Amino acid sequence: MAWTLVAAAVGGILFWVVRDAPVPQGTPDMASAPGAGAGAPPDISQMSPTERFLRLHDRIMAAAEKGDTTTVATFTPMALTAYGMLDRVDADLRYHAAELHVRVRDYPPALALADTIAQIAPNHLLASVIRAEVARIRGDRPGFDTSRRQFLKDYAAQLATGRPEYAEHKAMLEEMKRQFEQR
């Protein structure tokens, strides 16, 4: 029974990943090939589980920015199922999963992910970002201020570590620093 549920979840994830994949541009020779106008889906067998999770994450975050709560609510369980199936996770993937929990107002798992990031890498900026965001949404001013101060205290030293996730989220981290310094 459990395998049936897992298979159904994976099938649902793969359906939505394939459904919204960009249509590859064909060469002029391919334009006359049979079925060329239909647009072939990507070969998902070549996509890693991490790539599948991140594709769903990106779709959800784009929908959230547009205020599309239906897409967020529909795809978040699929993305979190995909996250749960990853064979390895790092601070960046934990951060992305926490972002999804925050978008559906499921704060305890988001905070637990922040805690696991901090356990692996004390003073990690992404842990402070998650905690600050949850505190801000909840109206927890003391919690927000604590996370904000921690972020600012650790900012320079953490960036000096050269963590790849800091490079990936450079613009967001710079914006958080700017906002946190103004408060």
pLDDT digits 0-9 by tens, 113-161? 999 999 999 999 999 999 999 999 999 999 999 999 999 999 999 999 9
Within a domain: 24 = no
Confidence of residue 44 (pLDDT cuts 50, 70, 90): low
How far is Cα 173 from Cα 113, in angstroms, rounded to an integer?
18
Query: Per-residue pLDDT averaged across 60-73, rounded?
Result: 95
Q: Which domain holds residue 166?
A: 48-182
Within a domain: 124 = yes
Confidence of residue 88 (pLDDT cuts 50, 70, 90): very high
**Burial code of 105-125, b = ≥16 C-beta within 10 A, e = fewer?**
eebeebbebbebbbeebeebb
Cβ atoms 117, 91 nearer than 8 A: yes
CATH number at residue 140: 1.25.40.10
Within a domain: 14 = no
- For residue 25, give the 3-state DSSP assignment: coil
Total domains present in the chain: 1
Within a domain: 159 = yes
Q: Per-residue pLDDT for 105 more than 50?
A: yes
Within a domain: 168 = yes
Within a domain: 37 = no
Within a domain: 28 = no
The model's pTM is 0.76
Within a domain: 143 = yes
pLDDT confidence of residue 43: 56
- C-alpha dihedral sign at 140, 84, 16, 54: positive
